[in-house]
Amino acid sequence: MLKIYAGTFLFCLQSFFVYAQNYKFTWEGAMTGIKAVWKEDDTSNTYVIPDQDVAVKVSIIDPFKQNTTNTNLSEYGDCTKTNSFYGSGNLAFQITSEASGQPVCLKFEFDKAIYLRNFKIYDIDLKQNISYQPSSFQDSIMLVAKRNGVDIPLTIDHMSESHIYTIYGQAVKADFIAGVNNDLNYNDVRAAISVSSAAPLTEFALYFSNGSEDDGMSNSQALKIPGFDFEVFQSPLPVKISDLNIEKMPNESYWLEWTANSEINNDIYTISTSSDGINFTKFGVLKSLNLSNHRYSFDLGQILNQHLYVKLEQTDFDGTTQVLGIVDVKSKSAGKLATLKSTVVTNQLYLNVSDTGEDIIRWEIYDMQGRSITVGSITSGDKEINTQTLNSGSYILKVSIAYASESFKFIKY
């Protein structure tokens, strides 16, 4: 069969390392950064990191409207309350409730996948009034992260070994001890956690409510949330391929073939053709299997054009498309490079080599495990290759020129 290699790639796919870019999200009153703030009755705002193309959408799902009202304005006269409770540059995230399990949600959505770094939450404590049981303020939070709808685990670390809360998976609740008031100063690290992610995420949400042991009579619980760091990563290419080529089959049809070394969230491959290498027409689509080291083949049929370009593209599930390569099918490749006079040989292999116009015509013999046994070069015409040193068995002869090759199976007796 005739194999046309992608040595005339117009595009070259190269692997590259992931690199990190560090950014900081800040609240009103901070010296630098976004300085995020809400006006009255806001439920969401989108902020763009200064001088960077990274957008962060921040939303509050606040059924009791504790965080965006005008009843307790900050020093700046807005409703964020970043300064009234916890000082400049820190968000006071508040709730009120009538029973346990009535959360308010603070949600961050990123337009690029990010790694969360050092998201700190302070003031996870319990204030207990002994005049009635069991308590009046018991902070309870749940943390949820996703990437394109898929849950991403978070790492929650104590900021002090002597802490007054318990971590339950992705949730944290202030400890309840009957008769003990664990109301700490909002800067006390014993009531603080640090949250990070080992995998990239596009969405991060904090659900804040009073705990299961709270009496439900609290009306002003709050968490201190400072600015936080995150890293935007340039992800590796979703698809890496090698050995893109066109195979000519015995029935004169052509197949586009390639090996997908890795596939991540790949939806489809698109094959297009062109007579000039510039204007391409969609020829067909192949569904991706999202496997590693998988060999793909696509039937192009018979190629009648004297010069044809075949382009391979891949498209992610989110619609992002990239060109993987273009193969230039030359008209010279339409004919056979050589013809075996017999597929059964003893001491000599006889063949006829076509006049390709090439100065170098290379031959190589492989065993059936793909190991090279012997190699040489020939010219056009009737030729002989000495096979006397070969052991009895089956072999592959490969005849190749600069842009094409052809392989033959023969048996040595």
pLDDT value, residue 323: 84
CB 272 within 8 A of CB 281: yes
Q: How far is CA 265 from the centre of its chain?
A: 7
Amino acid residing at 294: H
Range of the domain at 380: 336-412
Give the position of tokens 């200064």. 50
Regarding whether 36 and 11 lie in a shared domain, the answer is no
Q: Which pTM does this prediction carry? A: 0.56
- Element of type H or E holding 372: strand 372-378
Beta bridge partners of 91: 225
Top-confidence range, 128-142, 284-298, 310-324: 284-298
Residue 204 clears pLDDT 90, i.e. is over it:
yes
Regarding whether 141 and 160 lie in a shared domain, the answer is yes
Separation between Cα atoms, residue 320 and residue 270, nearest integer Å: 12
Residue 51 clears pLDDT 70, i.e. is over it:
no
pLDDT value, residue 18: 41
- On the CB side of 236, CA atoms within 13 Å amount to 14
Residue 408 clears pLDDT 70, i.e. is over it:
yes
At 72, the pLDDT band (50, 70, 90 cuts) reads: low
Neighbouring residues of 163: CB distance < 8 A, sequence distance ≥ 6: 190, 191
Regarding whether 273 and 325 lie in a shared domain, the answer is yes
Regarding whether 225 and 281 lie in a shared domain, the answer is no
Regarding whether 184 and 201 lie in a shared domain, the answer is yes
Least-confidence region, from 181-195, 238-252, 366-380 = 238-252
Residue 170 clears pLDDT 90, i.e. is over it:
yes
Regarding whether 61 and 198 lie in a shared domain, the answer is yes
Mean per-residue pLDDT, 195-221: 83
DSSP string, 111-146: EEEEEEE-EEEB---EE--TTSSS-SEEEEEEEEEE
pLDDT value, residue 122: 96
Residue 34 clears pLDDT 80, i.e. is over it:
yes
At 39, the pLDDT band (50, 70, 90 cuts) reads: confident
Q: What is the overall mean pLDDT for the chain?
A: 81
Regarding whether 314 and 180 lie in a shared domain, the answer is no
pLDDT value, residue 411: 84
Regarding whether 213 and 81 lie in a shared domain, the answer is yes
CB 215 within 8 A of CB 135: yes
Taking residue 302's Cβ as centre, other Cβ atoms within 10 Å add up to 11
**Number of domain units in the chain:** 3
Give me the CATH number covering residue 110.
Answer: 2.60.120
Residue 137 clears pLDDT 90, i.e. is over it:
no
Residue 132 clears pLDDT 70, i.e. is over it:
no
pLDDT value, residue 410: 87
At 100, the pLDDT band (50, 70, 90 cuts) reads: low
Regarding whether 124 and 50 lie in a shared domain, the answer is yes
- Phi then psi for 38, rounded to 5 degrees? -115, 150
At 234, the pLDDT band (50, 70, 90 cuts) reads: low
Residue 343 clears pLDDT 70, i.e. is over it:
yes
pLDDT value, residue 331: 42
Residue 109 clears pLDDT 60, i.e. is over it:
yes
Q: How is residue 225 written in tokens?
A: 């949330």
Least-confidence region, from 88-92, 232-236, 240-244, 326-330 = 232-236
Mean per-residue pLDDT, 378-401: 88
Regarding whether 303 and 223 lie in a shared domain, the answer is no
Residue 347 clears pLDDT 50, i.e. is over it:
yes
Residue 160 clears pLDDT 90, i.e. is over it:
yes
Give me the CATH number covering residue 365.
Answer: 2.60.40.3080
Residue 59 clears pLDDT 80, i.e. is over it:
yes
Percentage helix, strand, coil, to 5, in the chain?
0, 50, 45
Neighbouring residues of 53: CB distance < 8 A, sequence distance ≥ 6: none
Question: Which of 278, 298, 333 is the endpoint of a domain?
Answer: 333
Q: Which residue has the higher pLDDT, 202 or 274?
A: 202
Q: Which residue has the higher pLDDT, 89 or 96?
A: 89
pLDDT more than 70, % of the chain = 82
Least-confidence region, from 112-116, 166-170, 300-304 = 300-304
Q: How many helices (H) and strands (E) does the chain have?
A: 0, 32
Amino acid residing at 43: T
Regarding whether 159 and 84 lie in a shared domain, the answer is yes
Strand 201-210 to 104-117 pairing: antiparallel
E strands, 211-293, are 221-225, 228-233, 239-248, 254-263, 266-274, 281-287
Residue 10 clears pLDDT 50, i.e. is over it:
no
Separation between Cα atoms, residue 232 and residue 112, nearest integer Å: 7
Regarding whether 161 and 130 lie in a shared domain, the answer is yes
Beta bridge partners of 308: 329
Taking residue 172's Cβ as centre, other Cβ atoms within 10 Å add up to 22
Question: Which of 276, 299, 333 is the endpoint of a domain?
Answer: 333
Mean per-residue pLDDT, 147-160: 90
Question: Which of 333, 349, 366 is the endpoint of a domain?
Answer: 333
Coil, helix or strand at residue 270: strand
Give the position of tokens 């508040």. 94
**In the chain, how long is the greatest CA-to-CA distance?**
108
pLDDT value, residue 6: 46
DSSP string, 14-29: ------EEEEEE-BTT
Q: Which residue has the higher pLDDT, 53 or 351?
A: 351
Region for 89 from its dihedrals, namely left if φ exceeds 0, alpha if ψ lies in -120 to 50, beta otherwise:
left
Residue 322 clears pLDDT 80, i.e. is over it:
yes
Residue 83 clears pLDDT 80, i.e. is over it:
no
pLDDT value, residue 200: 86
